[in-house]
Amino acid sequence: MSHILVTGASGFIGSAVVAALARDGHRVRAAVRRPQLSFPAGVDVVQHPDLVEAFDWRPLLAGIEQVVHLAGIAHNRGGGLAMHDAVNRAATARLAAAAAQAGVRQFVFVSSIRAQCGPSADHAVTERDPPAPVDRYGASKLAAEVAVSGSGVPFTILRPVALYGPGVRGYFALLARAAASPLPLPVKNFGNRRSLLGIDNFISALRFVLSMPATVGETYVVADPGVPPRLCDVIVAMRKARRRFTFILPMSTDYVQFPLRLIGRGDMWDRIGGNLRVDAGKLIAAGWRPLHDTLSGVATMAQAAAPRKSGTASRSTR
């Protein structure tokens, strides 16, 4: 078992990672800006200043063997170019340099698929594609990757696609709420395919790279396996899991796309209606074994979130 520092430990991903690593028997140090979350017994919770500030990481790294760096500004958060650079690149560079000086044996940097490409792509994205971020978020994540690789610390870089799971926020949370609604949804014509990543699949990928020395020095895109389902299929899977009629109706996607592009939000349309297929074959070839595909994952999530009637045993849909 290892002594692992997890940054961004209070977030959606970080809290799940801390709990999973603690269950595995690792000694976990959870680094947070504000200790507002309850962590499992035995987890060492440490507080640090805002990442825009330069501070000494050495006390947080004392005795640490591996680092999982999750902290940063998400792509859907505010902040200009300078803020993204300060938090996503500069803070990461300082931590990686401190980890190298402290003799950390592996630094796992959780970057983003947006360091690899834009919100949509016309082909299956792999690590072989030259990185081509299109916004300040992706550019800051790619710059952070460069800083990590040049710091001297043994590193592994993960570029996950959008994650889903209990407690998720943002785009997928809106999608899940729409699927939970009893109202008809005009999504039948949304046939675009976007790779997603279940939080449990992400954690299994993280466990894999933390346990495999051969992954040091490598960069991996991470997504659920197989051909990603259509957006309408995701809605149907979640509604079936909750034992509801699917109630999806046809509607031209132009009714969504044109207004968004007209007001200068074509990027939002690309995230909703564009295709983004990400091929995690490199990580799978290295030995990672995902736990499920996307439709199974979203169905399980929807079923777990469904309200249960008192005194009634829940029935599995799988």
**CATH number of the domain residue 162 falls in:** 3.40.50.720
123-133 pLDDT, tens digit per residue, is 999 999 999 99
Q: What is the pLDDT of residues 221-233, one digit of tens each?
A: 999 999 999 989 9
Pairing type for strands 163-164 and 27-32 reads unpaired
**pLDDT above 90: percentage of residues in the chain:** 67
Which residue type occupies 252?
S
Whether residue 112 is predicted with pLDDT greater than 90 in this model: the reply is yes
User: In total, how many domains does the chain have?
Assistant: 1
Kindly state whether residue 267 falls inside one of the protein's structural domains: no
Model pLDDT, residue 316: 32
What pLDDT does 317 receive?
31
CA–CA separation, 14 and 33 (whole Å): 13
| Higher-pLDDT residue of 201, 305 | 201
pLDDT value of position 308: 62
Largest CA distance in the chain: 58
**What pLDDT is stored for residue 169 in this prediction?**
82
Task: Place 102 in a pLDDT band, splitting at 50, 70 and 90.
Answer: very high
Q: What is the pLDDT of residue 182?
A: 87
- Domain assignment of residue 43, yes or no: yes
Region 140-165 average pLDDT: 97
For helices 199-211 and 12-23, the axis angle rounded to 10 degrees is 50
CA distance 74 to 88: 9
Q: Within 133-196, where are the H helices?
A: 136-149, 171-180
Of 35-44, 201-210, 230-239, 301-310, give the lowest mean pLDDT range: 301-310
Mean residue pLDDT of the chain comes to 90
136 CA to centre of own chain = 18
Which residues, other chains included, contact 148 with Cβ-Cβ below 8 Å and sequence gap of 6+? 92, 93, 96, 107, 109, 155, 157
Q: What is the mean pLDDT of residues 148-169?
A: 94
- The model's pLDDT over 31-88, given as tens digits with 9 standing for 90+, comes to 999 877 789 999 999 999 999 999 999 999 999 999 999 999 876 555 678 889 999 9
89 lies in some domain = yes
User: Is residue 207 a part of any domain in this protein?
Assistant: yes
Range of the domain at 70: 3-167+195-225+277-291
281 belongs to a structural domain: yes
Q: 33-37, 58-62, 163-167, 191-195: which has the highest mean pLDDT?
A: 58-62
The answer as to whether 282 is a domain residue is: yes
CB 299 within 8 A of CB 317: yes
Which of 67-81, 186-200, 236-250, 283-297 is least confident?
Answer: 67-81
In angstroms, the CA 135 to CA 117 distance is 10
* pLDDT, tens digit (0-9, with 9 covering 90-100), for 257-296: 778 778 877 677 777 778 999 999 999 999 999 999 999 9
Note whether residue 296 is domain-resident: no
Half-sphere exposure of 281 (CA within 13 A, CB side): 9
